[in-house]
Amino acid sequence: MASSWPSCWLLALSAALWGTTWAADGGQQQQPLTIGKRPNIVFIMSDDQDLHMDSLSYMPHLKKHLTDRGTTFSRHYCTNALCCPSRVSLWTGRAAHNTNVTDVNPPYGGYPKFISQGFNAAYLPLWLQEAGYNTYYIGKLFNAQRVDNYDSPHAAGWTGSDFLLDPHTYEYLNATFQRNHDPPISYEGQYSTDVVADKSYGFLDDALADRDSKPFFLGIAPVAPHCNVRHHEKVNGNWTENSATMSPPVPAKRHEHLFNDIIVPRTEHFNPDEPNSVSWISHLPKQNQTNIDFNDGFYRNRLRSLQPLDEMIEGVISRLEDAGVLDQTYIFYTTDNGYHIGQHRFQPGKQSAFEEDINIPLIVRGPGIAEGMVTDVVTTHTDLAPTLLKLAGAELRSDFDGAAIPLASSDILEAGMVRPEHINVEMWGIIMSEGKYGTVVYQNHTYKALRIIGEHYSFLYTVWCNNEHELYDLMMDPYEMKNLYAHEHSSAFEFRPASRHGGEHTDEDLTEEIFPSTSGSTAHTTNNNTTAAPSTLKHIISRLDSLLMVLKTCKGRECTHPWEVLHPEGNVRDLHDALDEEYDHFYETQQRRVHFTKCEKGYIIESEGEVGAKAWPVDEAGVRVGAAWNHPVERQ
Ligand SMILES: *[C@@H]1O[C@H](CO)[C@@H](O)[C@H](O)[C@H]1NC(C)=O
Ligand SMILES: *[C@@H]1O[C@H](CO)[C@@H](O)[C@H](O)[C@H]1NC(C)=O
Ligand SMILES: *[C@@H]1O[C@H](CO)[C@@H](O)[C@H](O)[C@H]1NC(C)=O
Ligand SMILES: *[C@@H]1O[C@H](CO)[C@@H](O)[C@H](O)[C@H]1NC(C)=O
Ligand SMILES: *[C@@H]1O[C@H](CO)[C@@H](O)[C@H](O)[C@H]1NC(C)=O
Ligand SMILES: *[C@@H]1O[C@H](CO)[C@@H](O)[C@H](O)[C@H]1NC(C)=O
Ligand SMILES: *[C@@H]1O[C@H](CO)[C@@H](O)[C@H](O)[C@H]1NC(C)=O
């Protein structure tokens, strides 16, 4: 076997060290939990909050109480950049293709789909209750949990709950809440996030009063900084995206004056001159100043709408402190998906597989967790249910598609060697635009994407339902401006690097990135031979495609260890290993390719091409040789 273990191990070790950076004053650690005492968990989730437009910088209490006193997971990702599918994945620990809750409304998503898929009998709060926890939830649980269906059936698993209900969930000044089993109540004229804060303090009091007999889980999910949504009428008997008016989030009176000079960060990919992505994105019109001004205002209102949430963080922490349980409580801060405004010429919205929409905040503070630490181990929302259950001391489930996130700094360092490097991002349906201009909604917004991050490489690979492809090399192109997958060859699997501007990015750079220590003796050696260029991309794309082929239908361990499906012997553990030339033929000619036969609005598996990847080693005819099949990879 050409793949060499020592270098592989060294890579992993250096990855572990590389994978973790400490803040200047880092190294402090919260006291570990007293043995035998189970921790409380407070889980705060904002809605549509970006990491890449700097929203965290405008939340001083979050910084003081969580970022500075806990660990930041800078490479945390959602696996579906849309509220409801992302939340269902989070609370069930399953990928969207295994929940089949893929939209915000029926027939493919929303609360009714969560119910019909049977998850009201199999999701986190129930498991936490079984583990002996009191469970409380305030705010938005899922979309399409409505004033007329909240009780048929009621969301299970909560000791106390006060849900925001559609169609008023996103009305900042006219929310409807529904407490425990009581009927819904309108809070017309009251500021939604302040109501959420008051209700949270109330449940926290209940939880603290019972703390001696049971630890607690408290979920707090205000709508900030989601846009304001006002529903007027049903379409064909249902509330849908077409029955709503979206407008910028509404700030609380006391915050209206803030941030008057702040604008969306003008990064390289903000309203670019030359968008170079798949066809529909590259055809988006460049935004004029009127449009940009409106979007900057939208952005400022997002930051303002985060202030009551930031104040609530202070409120929660001080109550935990006063009750003397702060050092026995884990506090998580995250959101459901990210957000974009103007990048790639997008109007305000989410749902893409670009970094803005998928790489999201995750900050954790608690017993044994390092203070002021930033780690870049790769983690996803499907890892959170296992993480929370593990903290609660409960058994993990075999149907989890994620794995518990290492929280203590020693575990994070160890994890640098074994954590997955991939994120499987999925999307079905249409893309919505939440601003005032260019409300063009693209209908065929169904794709499968693979984000992969190693020490020497960082790619986004996307296959769309019209079989267009994208490949971005984020090492060279952090703003995902240059699609390396040539459009003109998108139907065939023969690659040449797409024409690039300026020649600053060559395939030799790619080779150097991935094989930094190769010195001329391997097949991956760089030379000036022009034929070397296309073949390097071809090598990479073939591996990424096969990995995506496994991930698009993975279940359980296949999702966290997809290379094991391709290489059951266990000797290939990452993209670097898989790029060994020994596997060129296997990946480039013997594997199936990810493709679609039709664009659908939901997970219609018949339209998503073949299923299952081949396992190494295979003979010339593509039949597996050697060891017996040990994985159900051929699942057709
Ligand atoms: C607020 O919502 C209620 C329904 O809960 C509705 O009757 C009322 O008209 C709304 N008020 C405003 C100002 O939109
Ligand atoms: C309306 O919702 C129901 C389920 O609540 C669903 O069966 C039906 O297909 C939906 N209608 C439309 C037009 O989406
Ligand atoms: C700017 O663009 C928007 C959206 O395309 C358009 O509606 C508007 O008329 C334009 N304004 C000017 C001044 O060109
Ligand atoms: C590559 O090209 C440069 C000039 O462009 C030349 O100096 C060098 O010798 C070439 N290397 C090989 C391996 O052909
Ligand atoms: C360069 O490419 C040609 C094909 O165009 C091939 O015959 C030759 O062996 C290559 N040389 C090297 C050094 O890779
Ligand atoms: C969207 O997908 C459908 C079904 O695959 C196809 O008929 C239609 O032409 C596509 N539309 C666009 C704009 O690509
Ligand atoms: C997902 O749900 C949709 C709508 O209910 C259904 O048509 C489809 O077959 C389901 N997909 C899978 C793979 O079960």
Residue 386 sits in a domain whose CATH number is 3.40.720.10
Residue 428 beta carbon below 6 angstroms from any ligand 7 atom: no
The pLDDT of residue 528 is above 50? no
Same domain, 311 and 379: yes
Q: Is residue 63 part of a domain?
A: yes
Q: What is the pLDDT of residue 426?
A: 98
Percent of the chain at pLDDT > 90 equals: 77
- Longest Cα–Cα distance of the chain, Å, equals 73
Same domain, 459 and 408: no
The answer on 484 and 361 residing in a single domain is no
What's the 528 CA to ligand 5 centre distance in angstroms? 9
pLDDT given for residue 491 in this prediction: 39
Residue 634 lies in a domain: no
Q: What is the pTM of this model?
A: 0.87
- Ligand nearest to the Cα of 530, by number: 5
User: What is the Å distance from ligand 7's center to 116 Cα?
Assistant: 11
CA of residue 512 to ligand 5 center, whole Å: 19
* Atom 1 of ligand 5, residue of closest alpha carbon: 529
User: Comparing 158-162, 228-232, 263-267, 559-563, which segment has the lowest mean pLDDT?
Assistant: 228-232
> Higher model confidence: residue 323 or residue 521?
323
Q: Is residue 571 part of a domain?
A: yes
User: CB–CB of 461/544 below 8 Å?
Assistant: yes
Instruction: Evaluate if residue 278 carries a pLDDT over 60.
Output: yes
Least trusted range by pLDDT, from 30-39, 336-345, 377-386, 502-511: 502-511
pLDDT for the residue numbered 15: 37
Distances (CA, A) of 508 to 335, 455, 525: 38, 17, 9
Beta bridge partners of 158: none
528 lines ligand 4 (CB under 6 A): yes
Output the residue whose Cα is nearest ligand 3's atom 4: 437
Amino acid at site 307: Q
Mean pLDDT along residues 482-509: 48
The per-residue pLDDT for 629 is 53
Place of tokens 């690979």: 461
Confidence of residue 524 (pLDDT cuts 50, 70, 90): very low
**Are 243 and 372 found together in one domain?**
yes
228-275 pLDDT tens trace: 999 877 777 766 667 788 999 999 999 999 999 999 999 999 999 998
Q: Is 603 in the pocket of ligand 7 (CB under 6 A)?
A: yes
Nearest CA to ligand 7 atom 13: 605
C-alpha span between 508 and 280 (Å, rounded)? 30
In the predicted structure, residue 92 carries a pLDDT above the cut 70:
yes
Task: Provide the percentage of residues in the chain whose pLDDT is more than 70.
Answer: 85
Query: Is residue 172 pLDDT above 50, yes or no?
Result: yes
Atom of ligand 2 nearest to the CA of 238: 1
Asked whether the predicted pLDDT for residue 508 surpasses 90, the reply is no
With the CA atoms of 408, 414, 420 and 423 taken in that order, what torsion angle do they form, in degrees rounded to the nearest 10? 30
Cβ of 530 less than 6 Å from ligand 4: no
Q: pLDDT class for 539, splitting at 50, 70, 90?
A: very high
Mean predicted confidence (pLDDT) in 63-74: 98
Whether residues 393 and 492 share a domain: the answer is no
Interval 340-368: pLDDT, tens: 999 999 999 999 999 999 999 999 999 99
H/E run at residue 308 = helix 289-322
| Range(s) of the domain holding residue 537 | 455-607
Q: What is the reported pLDDT for 507?
A: 53
* pLDDT at site 511: 54
- In terms of domains, do 118 and 184 share one? yes
Ranking 133-137, 218-222, 383-387, 455-459 by mean pLDDT, the lowest is 455-459
**Ligand 5, atom 4, residue with closest C-alpha:** 531
Considering the domain boundaries, does residue 615 fall inside one? no
Residues contacting ligand 2 via CB (< 6 Å): 106-107, 112, 236-238
The residue whose C-alpha atom lies closest to atom 5 belonging to ligand 1 is 186
Confirm or reject: Cβ of 279 under 6 Å from ligand 6.
no
Q: Is 83 a catalytic residue?
A: yes
Average pLDDT over residues 536-553: 95
Q: What is the pLDDT of residues 116-150, one digit of tens each?
A: 999 999 999 999 999 999 999 999 999 999 999 99
Q: Which of 78, 83, 84, 465 is catalytic?
A: 83
Average pLDDT estimate for 566-587 = 94
Of 374, 403, 419, which residue is a domain's last? 419
* 283 Cβ closer than 6 Å to some ligand 6 atom: no
Q: Is the CB of 598 under 6 A from ligand 6?
A: yes
Across the range 515-537, mean pLDDT stands at 43
Q: Is residue 302 part of a domain?
A: yes
Residue 289 and residue 410 in one domain: yes
Q: Are residues 504 and 387 in the same domain?
A: no
Task: Give domain status of residue 624, yes or no.
Answer: no
Distance 531 CA to ligand 5 centre (A): 7
* Residue 622, domain member (yes or no): no
Average pLDDT, the chain: 88
Residue 19 CA to residue 15 CA, distance in Å, equals 5
DSSP labels for 227-279? PEEEE---BTTB--GGGEEEEPPPPPGGGTTTTTT------TTBS-SS--SSH
Query: Do 397 and 518 share a structural domain?
Result: no
Token pair 């055809």: residue: 283
632 in any annotated domain: no
Nearest CA to ligand 4 atom 1: 528
Residues 363 and 493 in one domain: no
Residue 11 pLDDT grade (very low, low, confident, very high; cuts 50, 70, 90): very low
pLDDT at 553 over 50: yes
Residues 403 and 504 reside in one and the same domain: no
Contact (Cβ atoms closer than 8 angstroms) between residue 78 and residue 343: no
- 12 confidence band (pLDDT: 50, 70, 90): very low
Q: What is the pLDDT of residues 413-422, one digit of tens each?
A: 888 778 899 9
Strand extents, DSSP E, 432-487: 447-453, 458-464, 469-473
Same domain, 464 and 399: no
Tell me which of 2-6, 302-306, 325-329, 560-564 is least confident: 2-6
Q: How many domains does the chain have?
A: 2
| Token pair belonging to 310 | 């930031």
Residues 6 or more apart whose Cβ sits within 8 Å of residue 399: 93, 94, 98, 555, 556
